[in-house]
Amino acid sequence: MIGVESASEWPYQPVGEEFPSERWERLTGYAQGWYVTGPLAEAGFGYLAEIIDSVLASGVSDQLLVISSMHDLTVVPAHAKAGERESIFVVSPANYPTLRGHMGLAFWSEYRRWEYRQYKVEDAVDVFWEMVEEKFGILPTNG
């Protein structure tokens, strides 16, 4: 893991009470077309497709809501109570500076607490699930 930065520099906002979740199944085709075989394959964005595929294979995709925007993923727990706002952001290097060969994971909570961490892209799936377990208490049941 590399660094945690100050909240004043962080451009992302928490997800509101009405979370317009996309279907993980829809995102996998989009991710393959953009990040694996498409225009961003050479830029190293393939880890986004790997994370999406891992959620689909996890057995707990129904417990994680997701939206995508500008090559980022925003993930929230489906079991959140009204008024709770905790979000994990899988941040693309196109939207927030990361070291070459790294990806970003961020966490924001309703208590104005947030963290930003950078990891090597080859560790993306493992560190994504570590953060999902740490922040939301959700573990994959398959694999």
Q: Can you give the pLDDT at residue 82? A: 62
Q: Can you give the pLDDT at residue 6? A: 43
Q: Can you give the pLDDT at residue 26? A: 80
Domain boundaries, the chain: 14-136
101, 64 in Cβ contact below 8 A? Answer: no
- H or E segment and range at residue 26: helix 24-31
Tokens of 89: 């952001």
Q: Can you give the pLDDT at residue 127? A: 97
Q: Can you give the pLDDT at residue 4? A: 44
Contacts of 100 (CB under 8 A, 6+ apart): none
Beta strands in the chain (DSSP E): 64-69, 72-77, 87-91, 102-108, 114-120
Helices (H) and strands (E) in the chain, counts: 3, 5
Q: Can you give the pLDDT at residue 138? A: 94
Digit-by-digit pLDDT tens for the chain (143 residues) are 444 444 444 444 445 455 566 778 888 777 777 777 777 667 677 888 899 999 999 999 989 988 887 778 889 888 776 666 788 999 877 777 788 888 899 998 877 678 889 999 999 999 999 999 999 999 999 86
SS3 62: helix
The angle formed by the CA atoms of residues 138, 44 and 96, to the nearest 5 degrees, is 70
Q: How far is CA 140 from the centre of its chain?
A: 15
